[in-house]
C-alpha cells in the first residue's frame, strides 16, 4: 500500500488510516480482534483511536477501544507492525479532561496501560483547550517525547490561528511540534478546512488526517432519499445531510464510481486523497467489505473530470 509522509516531521503512514472508534462499540471484542488481524495483513497498519472511545455508548466509560487494541498487541505480539495514534483531552468524567500539563501526564499513563505498550507513535490533542496555557500543554507533550513515551504529537479540532500559535510556541522553545492536524473534512464538510486550516497546513507543512472521511457513512451511498436512520448508530450525524445538495453529492459519487467499477466509498476517499494538503483520511470499518473498500481506494486514480464533477457538486454544501 502507498505510504505518505505525515507532514515534514512525522512518520510514513499508509494512505488510509484505520479508525478505531468502532472497537468495543459497534464491533464486539472478538470481531474487533479479527478485523485488526486482517487490516494489518492488508497493509492498514496505522490505527487511530482515543481514550474517550466509546464513552458515549450506554454502559461504557471510555477506554474500550484502547483496551481492545491493547489485547490485540498482547495476544498477537505485533506492536512493532503498527503505527499507533491515540488522543487525549475529551471529557472522561470525574473532571478528567482538557490539556493541562498534569492531566496530560496522568492520561498518557492510563492510555499506555490500556494499550499494553510502552510508547505511542502519535499522541494527539483531541480538541483545543483554551482554558489551558499552550506553553503548558506543549511542554507536557514535549516531555513525553523526550521520555520516549510518545514519538510524535499532533492536534485535532483546532482552528487555524490556534494551530499556528501552537507551532510557533514549540519552535520558539525548541520543543516537539505538532506534525499533524485531524480536521473534520470530507465532500460534504469542506469550508472550515479549506478556508481556515489549509493555509496553515501549507505554511508549516503539517500532515492532514481527516476524520469522518465518509461523513459517518453518508458518503458510502448506504443512505438514500427517504432512508430511515432510526436505530442507526450514527443516524443523528448523517440526518443533517438529508437534503437535495447532500444527495446530489451521493449521486455524483455513484456516477464517478460506476466509471471506475468502484464503490461510492472508494470514490469519496479517492477524492480526499487527491486534495491539497491531505496525507491520509481516517475511516473505520465494520465488515470485510468495508476493509476492502479502504484498500481499493488507495489505488483509485480519479480523472480531472471526476474531480471537477465532485468539486462542483459539493461546492453547494461546502459553506
Rounded Cα distance between 237 and 260, Å, is: 29
**Active-site residue identified among 23, 53, 152, 211:** 53
- Can 53 be counted among the known catalytic residues? yes
Q: SS3 of 95, please? A: coil
Nine cell digits for residue 21: 472508534
In 113-215, DSSP assigns E strands to 120-125, 150-156, 178-182, 207-208
Rounded Cα distance between 232 and 302, Å, is: 31
DSSP class of residue 146 equals H
C-alpha neighbours within 13 Å on the C-beta side of residue 31: 12
For residue 54, say if its preceding peptide bond is cis, omega within 30 degrees of 0: yes
Q: How many residues does the chain have?
A: 319
| Helix boundaries (H) for 148-263 | 160-173, 191-192, 198-204, 235-239, 244-259
Q: SS3 of 308, please? A: helix
Nine cell digits for residue 233: 448508530
> So which residues are the catalytic ones?
53
Amino acid at each position: 500500500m502507498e505510504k505518505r509522509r505525515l507532514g515534514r516531521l512525522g512518520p510514513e503512514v499508509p494512505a488510509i488510516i484505520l479508525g478505531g472508534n468502532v472497537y468495543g462499540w459497534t464491533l464486539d471484542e472478538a470481531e474487533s480482534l479479527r478485523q485488526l488481524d486482517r487490516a494489518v495483513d492488508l497493509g492498514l497498519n496505522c490505527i487511530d483511536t482515543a481514550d474517550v472511545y466509546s464513552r458515549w455508548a450506554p454502559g461504557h466509560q471510555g477506554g474500550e477501544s484502547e483496551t481492545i487494541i491493547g489485547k490485540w498487541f498482547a495476544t498477537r505480539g505485533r506492536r512493532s507492525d503498527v503505527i499507533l495514534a491515540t488522543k487525549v483531552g475529551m471529557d472522561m468524567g470525574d473532571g478528567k479532561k482538557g490539556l493541562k500539563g498534569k492531566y496530560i501526564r496522568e492520561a498518557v499513563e492510563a492510555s499506555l496501560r490500556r494499550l499494553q505498550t510502552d510508547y505511542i507513535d502519535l499522541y494527539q490533542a483531541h480538541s483545543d483547550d483554551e482554558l489551558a496555557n499552550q506553553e503548558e500543554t506543549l511542554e507536557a507533550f514535549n516531555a513525553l517525547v523526550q521520555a520516549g513515551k510518545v514519538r510524535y504529537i499532533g492536534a485535532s479540532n483546532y482552528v487555524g490561528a490556534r494551530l499556528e500559535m501552537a507551532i510557533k510556541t514549540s519552535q520558539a522553545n525548541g520543543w516537539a511540534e505538532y506534525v499533524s492536524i485531524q480536521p473534520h473534512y470530507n465532500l460534504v464538510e469542506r469550508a472550515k478546512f479549506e478556508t481556515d486550516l489549509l493555509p496553515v497546513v501549507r505554511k508549516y507543512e503539517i500532515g492532514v488526517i481527516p476524520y469522518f472521511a465518509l461523513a459517518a457513512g453518508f458518503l458510502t451511498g448506504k443512505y438514500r432519499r427517504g432512508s430511515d436512520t432510526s436505530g442507526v448508530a450514527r443516524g443523528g450525524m448523517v440526518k443533517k445531510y438529508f437534503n437535495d445538495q447532500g444527495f446530489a453529492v451521493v449521486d455524483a459519487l455513484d456516477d464517478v464510481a460506476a466509471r471506475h467499477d468502484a464503490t461510492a466509498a472508494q470514490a469519496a476517499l479517492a477524492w480526499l486523497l487527491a486534495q491539497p494538503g491531505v496525507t491520509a483520511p481516517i475511516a473505520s470499518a465494520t465488515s470485510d467489505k468495508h476493509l476492502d473498500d479502504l484498500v481499493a481506494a488507495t489505488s483509485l486514480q480519479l480523472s480531472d473530470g471526476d474531480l471537477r464533477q465532485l468539486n462542483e457538486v459539493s461546492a453547494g454544501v461546502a459553506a
